[in-house]
Structure 1
Amino acid sequence: MTYVVTENCIKCKFMDCVEVCPVDCFYVGANFLVIHPDECIDCGVCEPECPAEAIFPDSDDKTADWLELNRTYAAQWPNITRKGEPPADAEEWKGKPGKKDLLDPAPGKA
């Protein structure tokens, strides 16, 4: 089992989750984070740290469309091990639905 980052992270990217991950399995895109499913140890410490409530166990129905997306981008984006600055407008995007089309496939900066 693994944890999965979902749509709520898009354009929020708060990164609080990165600081608590004991195995550094987060990868960063321009406006989204992903968890590498083969590196995640299913400890769950990241889930309650996410202010955008974007992280769920892969057993949750909300992750169906997101697990493979996390796997794909984890292979393309740089690993991130420290919390960076969230986007200036992150709070404005927090909780907004329908953000999947806004996901930027470009890698972020670790």
Structure 2
Amino acid sequence: MTFVIAMPCVDVKDKACIDECPVDCIYEGERMLYVHPDECTDCGACEPVCPVEAIFFEDDTPQDWQHFTTVNAEFFADLGSPGSSAKLGPIGRDHPVVAALPSQCAL
């Protein structure tokens, strides 16, 4: 099991979770943040600091956002396991599902 970042993060990217994560397993895409499922230790430090409540334990992810479990995992398909988001820095892309979403920014 792992934690999952879901829809409320899209176009927000507060990054408080990145600062709180002791293993640097939260990576920055263009429009949202992603938890690396193989690097996450399930400590839960990220969940309470998210201002938009976008982080869920995998089994507790709301039904409408269950597909974000796959979205988070597939984001790393070509990256493998870099071992540290701090070393890698922002990744200049998003998962295709996220990239295709309409802007979540208020006009």
TM over 0.5: yes
Of structures 1 and 2, the one scoring higher in RCO (CA 8 A, sep 6+) is 1
Q: Which residue of 1 aligns with 2:95?
A: none
Q: Which residue of 2 aligns with 1:67?
A: 69
RMSD between aligned residues: 2.5
In structure 2, runs of 5+ residues without a counterpart are 88-99
Measure how far apart 1:80 and its partner are. 3.1
- Cα distance in 1, alignment partners of residues 12 and 29 from structure 2: 12
Moved over 2 A (4+): 74-82
* 3-state DSSP of counterpart to 1:102: coil
Q: Which residue of 2 aligns with 1:80?
A: 85
**Number of equivalenced pairs:** 87
Distance change >3 Å, CA 14–CA 61, structure 1 → 2: closer
TM-score of the pair, normalised by structure 2? 0.70
* 3-state DSSP of counterpart to 2:71: helix
- Cα distance in 2, alignment partners of residues 24 and 2 from structure 1: 14
Percent identical: 41
In structure 1, runs of 5+ residues without a counterpart are 83-99, 104-110
Give runs of aligned pairs for residues 1-110 of structure 1, distance below 5 A: 1-62=1-62, 63-76=65-78, 80-81=85-86, 101-102=101-102
